[in-house]
Amino acid sequence: MKSEILKMLWEAQEYISGQEICNRMGVSRTAVWKVVNQLREEGYKVESVTNKGYRLVACPDSITKEAIESRIETRLLGRNVYYKEQTDSTNTEAKRLAGTDAGVDGLLVTAERQTAGKGRRGRTWISPAGTCIYMSLILKPDIRPVNASTLTLVAALAVCRAIKEETGLFAQIKWPNDIIINGRKICGILTEMSAEEESIHYVVVGMGINANQSSMEEFPSELWDRASSLLIEGGEKIDRCSLICRVMEKMEHYYSMFLQTEDMSGLLEEYNSCLVNIGKMVQVSNGKETITGTAQGIDKKGSLKVETPDGIKNIVSGEVSVRGLYGYV
Ligand code: BTN
Per-residue pLDDT tens over the stretch 219-243: 999 999 999 999 999 999 999 999 9
- Whether the per-residue pLDDT at 320 is higher than 80: the answer is no
Q: Is the CB of 116 under 6 A from ligand 1?
A: no
**In angstroms, rounded to a whole number, what is the distance separating the alpha carbons of residues 154 and 9?**
33
How far is ligand 1, taken at its centre, from the CA of residue 265, in Å? 26
- Whether the per-residue pLDDT at 318 is higher than 80: the answer is no
Q: Which residues of 17-46 are buried (b: 16+ CB within 10 A; e: fewer)?
A: ebeebbeeeebeeeebeebbeebeeeebeb
Closest residue to atom 11 of ligand 1, CA basis? 206
For residue 133, which of 237, 234, 240 has the smallest C-alpha distance? 240
Q: Give percent of the chain with pLDDT exceeding 90.
A: 78
| HSE (side-chain half, CA atoms, 13 Å) at 296 | 13
Look at residue 115 in the predicted model and tell me its pLDDT.
97
pLDDT band at 259 (very low <50, low <70, confident <90, very high): very high
Look at residue 2 in the predicted model and tell me its pLDDT.
86
Q: Model confidence over 142-198: pLDDT tens digits?
A: 999 999 999 999 999 999 999 999 999 999 999 999 999 999 999 999 999 999 989
Average pLDDT value for the chain: 93
Residue 142 DSSP code: -
**In angstroms, rounded to a whole number, what is the distance separating the alpha carbons of residues 317 and 329?**
16
Q: Is the CB of 167 under 6 A from ligand 1?
A: no
Q: Model confidence over 92-145: pLDDT tens digits?
A: 999 999 999 999 999 999 999 999 999 998 999 999 999 999 999 999 999 999
Report which ligand 1 atom has the smallest distance to the Cα of 88: 14
* CA distances in angstroms from 274 to 178, 181, 316, 317, 326, listed in the order given: 11, 11, 19, 17, 20
Q: Is the CB of 237 under 6 A from ligand 1?
A: no
Classify 306 as helix, strand or coil: strand
The arithmetic mean of pLDDT across residues 211-217, rounded, is: 95
Ranges of H-type helices in 177-313: 230-234, 240-261, 268-274
**In angstroms, rounded to a whole number, what is the distance separating the alpha carbons of residues 295 and 314?**
10
Closest residue to atom 10 of ligand 1, CA basis? 134
Look at residue 286 in the predicted model and tell me its pLDDT.
79
Q: Model confidence over 265-294: pLDDT tens digits?
A: 999 999 999 999 899 999 988 778 888 999
Specify which residues 181 forms β-bridges with.
171, 184
